[in-house]
Chains A and B, each alone.
Chain A
Amino acid sequence: MAPSSDWVMIGNNEAIGLKAIAAVSFERFRQAVIEAVAGEARLSALPVWSPGDSGGLRVIAVLSLPQRGELGLLSAALPDRWPSLTPHCPAAHWFEREIAEQWGLTPEGHPWLKPIRFQPCRRHPDGGSRSACAGLTDFFAMAGQESHEVAVGPVHAGIIEPGHFRFLCHGETVYHLEISLGYQHRGIERAMTGGPVPRSVHYMETLAGDTTIGHVTAYSHLLEALAGATVPARGKAIRAIAAELERIANHVGDLGALAGDVGFLPTRDYCGRIRGDVLNMTAAVCGNRFGRGLIRPGRVQWDLDGGLTEDLLARLDAVEKDVTGAVPLMLDTPSVLARLEGTGVVSSETARDIGMVGVAARASGLECHVCAEFPYGIYRLAQLPVNTWTGGDCAARTYVRWFEVQASIDFLRHQLLELPAGPVDRKLSPMAPESLAVSLVEGWRGEICHVAATDRESRFAFYKVVDPSFHNWFGLALALRGQQISDFPLCNKSFSLSYCGHDL
């Protein structure tokens, strides 16, 4: 179903004047979003900002319409209270909670309205509805004999980020898992407002450290769109090379961690090291294992010169050989598969309803992949195959990762062999004033969406980041239903979501 004619269509990495985005009444906005998401559209972002002139707040819906390869925009004035979209559009549930928390507003009839980050309210920074302490909020409760709760975190047993998990159990069975985040909140979006400043690009490189390339690419695309320029082909190719290295490194690391969680130690140990070898390839390109300092708006700061391409190709061959030894070893072992199969199932309907993206969505059979749907940079010329799997269980998420590793290795080899000649940078003119742009990137976890608008002085009026984890944390909660607590590490690893990318 095509969305109603109110929507203004733009392409990925395209800028549009703010005035060109249709503003409708909130009621009409609400209906339009509900209808579009019930059709083919994905709700990619729902930014709210205060334009400053009228004192009121505005909301913009950013839809991705994969079948058209376009993004739909629609805006409205946001009232203090509104009938929640969530009962009719579950994919809006986390967005509405975010808006309620950030701006001190109320989506009435939201089924479970509570903070997602425990951050100060933008309108009343000193008070408002902020909880005294992160994690101090209502949780689901269950009564009856043999029912009990298990609380874990924020400090966990391993070297991982902080988050709080509440398992509602009856006997051995988990009825629901509540995930309470926000411990990593450090005010990135707030600090982006009024930029760009020298720190802006560092916020982007560190908002989710394992996705440095993904987020800084989205940021660079956005600034380039607002400045009306793109980088030369060689620069695009180097960005994609870095992005695929990031994908391979993280997937290999996760495959190793999954092996560890099922107790299959050979693959865990090999993958842990192979991941390091891939990070070291990124370090060979730019000096930093996570790709810090490589990508900037309008350019890449390091070229692949002086025999580096040959060096990377040789290292890639070694990685391919090692990883095709290590991963099938695990996937050919019946006891490993028995542990993965049927554990942590998310059906494709559920995945679609709650708006899941990326690896986890593809493992539930959804064919979503920004590189294919809204191709950008070098992906407009070179295809990265989309791999899906059915089942929606830990096994499916493991397979999708493994297929993607193999596809990325092929893609990378091709890019390294066919690297376009020429410069890697372009001079950027200043950003257009009073304009908005959207940038979608397929990070290794899934769809990354950045939306920004400029004010009259071409400064950021707001900067919105939606990490794939934002869409997927609730999927992990649902995957745990009917499982045992002991399945949690496995399910968690199979989703492998970001805390800091969510908390911002």
Chain B
Amino acid sequence: MLKILKTRFQQKYRTLSYPDGPAPEMPLRFAGRPVLDPGCQAGCGACRSACPTGAIMAAPAGGTLSLDTGRCLFCRACEKSCPQGLIRFSRDHGLASATRQGLVIETGAVQTVSARNELAATLFARSLKLRQVSAGGCNACEADCNVLGTPAWDIGRFGIQFVASPRHADGLLVTGPVTDNMRLALEKTYAAVPDPKIVIAVGACAISGGPYAEHAEQHNGASSVVPVDLFIPGCPPHPLTILDGLLKLSGRITAVENS
């Protein structure tokens, strides 16, 4: 018993003060929200051919670039490939959006992306129980959702909790591209959640199929099966990105202007 108390003392108090205090600092080499320089007129296409998932598109008319963070693996291949250095990745962790279109970043544009959901901000504001469904993918997104339950992040502080049964849940948090083999299980789990309910798609896989997009063995993400209310990009998203998304969803923090 004394040893347990001694170790408890040594291990200290570790829960983040965020969001009341400052957000934890992201690693220096972290790839967060991409920034596209307006100087590019979608000329050489080097970034597009380097991109493994087709996340970079030239707008049909004018030719300026856009980058779909819902497909992006944050691998920096585009950044490396650009001969003029016009694509770079900031350390901004805030990436979530309530709409699929809100994930697309345009050249130089100033965008305000909303991740707020009325239901989450009112009925579920003080208690949001989520059932996690892992539907393909690589288990890294799941791992970083799990992390949110550890004492350092402690999402219980916000009334958010992962529960064991869909019957106890207010919504689903889906990861993975929805493999053919998981489609039925996802449908059934969704049906088992009582109305009204919300769905959160975490990671490139769940948003677009991610690295497996267009494979015949999967369905290009959760939207193919269930309506999605919040998209959180990344491969995997940093725990802070997921937390940021959940807090914006319930209106606890508001979206800032992203430029």
Interfacial residues, chain A to chain B (CB-CB below 8 A):
118-120, 125, 133-134, 154-155, 157-162, 182-188, 190-191, 197-199, 201-203, 206-210, 212, 266, 269-270, 272-273, 276, 280, 283-290, 292-293, 302, 321-322, 325-326, 329, 332, 498-500
Contacts and interface: CB of A to CB of B under 8 A. Distances in A.
5 contacts: A134-B181, A187-B218, A269-B151, A273-B11, A500-B139
A162 B134 contact: yes
Contacts of A190: 217
A183 B182 contact: yes
B136 A184 contact: yes
Interface of B: 3-4, 7-8, 10-11, 14, 27-31, 49-53, 73-77, 132-147, 149-152, 162, 164-166, 176-177, 179-182, 184-185, 189, 210-212, 215-218, 235-236, 238
Given A159-B145, A161-B142, A290-B140, 15 more contacts: A119-B217, A125-B216, A158-B146, A158-B164, A183-B179, A187-B217, A202-B53, A206-B140, A206-B210, A210-B139, A212-B140, A272-B149, A287-B28, A321-B10, A325-B11
B216 A120 contact: yes
Contacts of B152: 272-273, 276
Given A154-B185, A272-B151, A283-B29, A185 B179 contact: yes
B140 A187 contact: no
Contact of A209 (B53, B137, B179): B137
- The A interface, classified by DSSP as helix, strand, loop or mixed, is loop
A90 B145 CA distance: 38
Contact of A329 (B7, B49, B218): B7
Contacts of B73: 202, 292
Most buried by A among B50, B145, B151, B177: B151
A186 B189 CA distance: 20
A186 B31 CA distance: 26
Contacts, number: 179
A329 B10 CA distance: 12
Contact of A499 (B139, B147, B149): B139
Give the 7 A-B residue pairs with the shortest CB-CB distance, closest first.
Answer: A209-B140, A209-B138, A287-B29, A134-B181, A157-B164, A272-B150, A187-B217
A292 B73 CA distance: 9
Given A154-B182, A272-B151, A159 B3 contact: no
A209 B145 CA distance: 13
Contact of B132 (A159, A272, A290, A321): A159
A394 to B, nearest CB: 21
Contacts of A162: 134-135, 182, 185
Contacts of A325: 7, 10-11
B211 A203 contact: yes
A341 to B, nearest CB: 20
Nearest to A135: B181
A161 B134 contact: yes
Contacts of A161: 134, 139, 142
A362 to B, nearest CB: 23
A321 B138 CA distance: 31
A394 B238 CA distance: 32
Given A270-B11, A273-B151, A329-B4, A159 B146 contact: yes
A187 B215 contact: yes
A183 B145 CA distance: 20
Nearest to B4: A266
Given A119-B217, A329-B3, A329-B4, A269 B150 contact: yes
Contact of A120 (B29, B139, B150, B217): B217
Contact of B211 (A154, A160, A199, A272): A199
A288 B143 CA distance: 13
A361 B204 CA distance: 35
Given A120-B217, A187-B215, A159 B74 contact: no
Given A157-B164, A270-B11, A329-B3, A208 B138 contact: yes
Nearest to A215: B138
A189 to B, nearest CB: 11
B157 to A, nearest CB: 15
B218 A209 contact: no
Nearest to B213: A199
A500 B181 contact: no
Given A292-B235, A332-B3, A184 B176 contact: yes
Contacts of A134: 180-182, 184
A118 B217 CA distance: 11
Contacts of B52: 197-199, 201-202
Contact of B212 (A187, A270, A302): A187
Given A161-B139, A302-B29, A273 B7 contact: no
A496 to B, nearest CB: 11
Contacts of A197: 52
Most buried by A among B151, B162, B180: B180
Nearest to B73: A202
A186 B218 contact: yes
A154 B176 CA distance: 14
Contact of A289 (B144, B177, B215): B144
Most buried by A among B8, B10, B152, B179: B179
B215 A191 contact: yes
A288 B27 CA distance: 8
B27 A287 contact: yes
Contact of A293 (B76, B189, B212): B76
A288 B218 CA distance: 25
A175 B236 CA distance: 39
A326 B139 contact: no
